[in-house]
């Protein structure tokens, strides 16, 4: 299976979620199932069915996180010598040449992307257009609304 790039922060968040699911949620759900079983007839026991559904969701998420971490290539951008180029994990400040609006994006893994937080996936059109470019370069990005022209104002490795 191919390794998926992930920032060190993204991997840490997944590890924290995994810990919470395994050591907080899993025992809570197990107790809820035991309590619901004690109530009697399982066919018509809504609490039992709800707890089992929660258990199924939690176990699925645990499996998903373990798989993502096992297949992650964790990249610490602060230790990469990119020589001013835009690389995975870099934070890039851009100027939209049409609107004079400044935006800042950090290029992250697929699972970490959150456009509202300024985190764009390495597979997004914006990230693909920026990779390998330097401060001062102009880039054209094909987005659903059309072609957008940006100038790279700053590349930071935070």
> Which CATH number is 70's domain given?
1.10.287.180
- The pair of structure tokens assigned to 104 is 């800042």
Same structural domain, 17 and 43: yes
Domain-ending residue, one of 33, 55, 75: 75
What pLDDT was estimated at residue 1? 55
What pLDDT was estimated at residue 74? 93
Contacts of 75 (CB under 8 A, 6+ apart): 5, 6, 7, 8, 88, 89
Same structural domain, 63 and 114: no
Same structural domain, 108 and 144: yes
Structural contact between residues 95 and 150, judged by C-beta atoms closer than 8 angstroms: yes
List the chain pLDDT tens, one digit each, 158 residues.
Answer: 578 899 999 999 999 999 999 999 999 999 999 988 887 777 778 888 899 999 999 999 999 999 999 999 999 888 887 888 999 999 999 999 989 999 999 999 998 999 999 999 999 999 999 999 999 999 999 988 889 999 999 999 98
Q: Is 101 helix (H, G, I), strand (E, B) or coil?
A: coil
Same structural domain, 67 and 31: yes
Domain-ending residue, one of 75, 101, 123: 75
Where in the sequence is the domain holding 23, given as residue range(s)?
4-75
Strands 102-108 and 91-96: what pairing?
antiparallel
As for how many domains the chain has, the answer is 2
What pLDDT was estimated at residue 41? 74
């Amino acid at each position: 299976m191919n390794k998926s790039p992930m920032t060190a922060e993204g991997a840490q968040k997944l590890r924290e979620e995994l810990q919470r699911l395994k050591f907080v949620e899993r025992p809570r759900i197990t107790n809820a199932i035991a309590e619901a079983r004690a109530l009697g007839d399982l066919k018509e026991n809504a609490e039992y069915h709800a707890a089992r559904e929660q258990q199924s969701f939690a176990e699925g998420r645990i499996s998903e996180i373990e798989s993502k971490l096992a297949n992650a290539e964790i990249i610490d951008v602060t230790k990469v010598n990119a020589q001013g180029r835009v690389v995975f994990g870099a934070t890039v400040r851009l100027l939209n040449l049409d609107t004079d609006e400044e935006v800042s994006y950090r290029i992250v893994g697929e699972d970490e992307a959150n456009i509202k937080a300024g985190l764009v996936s390495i597979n997004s059109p914006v990230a693909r257009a920026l990779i390998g470019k330097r401060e001062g370069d102009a880039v054209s990005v094909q987005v659903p609304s059309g072609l957008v022209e940006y100038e790279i104002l700053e590349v930071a490795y935070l």
